[in-house]
Structure 1
Amino acid sequence: MDSILFIEIESSYKAIPLLVFKRDHHSSIIKKSHVRIYSDAHALLMAIEEQVQEFQKLIEQQTIQMIEDKERELNEHISHLQASAIHQLTLSQQQWFEKAEEQLNKLLDAQEKRLSEAIADARNSMASAIRNRLIKMNQSDSLIGYLSDALHAELNDVEKSLVIVKSYSDNGTTLTIENDDCMVSINTQELLSELKSCLENISDD
């Protein structure tokens, strides 16, 4: 009769799943070789678990590094976009100010031109009116009277005792006054011509 070997199972192996062992379903005996297989398998599983944990830590580190890199790249991209937006805004403002300054200069130039033209028109109109008035004054009694007073004043004839000789012609009226020391003459046409010449010079300026 064959002898039967019984093996005492330690408490640490009580949690061993029955599926691990390939044994006869009609027997509760576990062979020592099966226990050794399980022990080796358990050690291999523990080693695999350690490697899995290491790989998991490595993946976590790589993931964190990748997130940090992506976050840094995103921040750099955002900073670049902000800088670009600020640059574009500054450039747009500069272009707006340059355009506004250009428009203002054009407006000022146009206003200055219109003002100059208005002043020139006013001076020409005034000069033309004065010339026409001077032409009409050539034989004017008022002008002759004014010139007569000027001749008396020129010779200090306060009493107006000196006689003024008037000579009329197509060239205007000539007024002459004299005393013992000198003789003074004024021609209305020549006087008016000089005045018109002065007006023309003023208009040209």
Structure 2
Amino acid sequence: MKIIGVLKPRSVTQIPEPPLARFLFADTRIAWLWLLVRLYVGYEWLTAGLEKLTGYNFAFGTGFGQRVSSPWIFSGHDGVALQGFVKGALALSSGPHAAVQGWYAAFLQHVVLPNAGPFAYVVTFGEVLVGLGLIFGALTGIAAFFGVFMNLNFMLAGAVSINPILGTLGLLLMLAWRIAGYYGLDSLLLPLLGTPWTGSLLSRLRAQRTEPLEAGAGGR
């Protein structure tokens, strides 16, 4: 009891980050690893989005450049492909061991299905933008977040495929957002934009420029 009184665990408000976590998620020396992860996840999202946009296969390998499906959008029958996907998910929502939860099936049936056209645009351009953001390392943490959000929705709709892998890698990219785009546009964007708790580089530079002026005025 005396030891507990000395330690006072309830007085601790912050637990220090382990050295391994700092190295993996905040050390620029490991940024090359997140570059590889970024390029892979971004490639998967971009090729999936371009296929929905054009109907052609953009994945490297056999079948590259071949027509594989009808475009999801700008085709005169926008939303038809998404309707088929949703109906397939609804078929998995019945039975004792349903792959799609009832609450999510209700969302698909009453929200997504009647508005399949607009949702098809959101999904298509969402995949393309997430892919580009990750490949170029632009706002990597935000791009990874929306990628994970789409992975979660696909899995809730019963589509497993590669989604668990991309979702796990996306979560890791979110944790490593400070260095995941170090070899990318984030090396410029993050210092300029900053964060709500640090401010931007521009604001700090302005503050540094005004400090000598204020000091000189005070000394007169």
Choose between structure 1 and 2: higher strand proportion. 1
> Normalising by structure 1, what TM-score?
0.25
Q: Tell me which structure has the larger Cα radius of gyration.
A: 1
Greater relative contact order (Cα 8 A, min sep 6): structure 1 or 2? 2
TM-score, length basis structure 2: 0.23
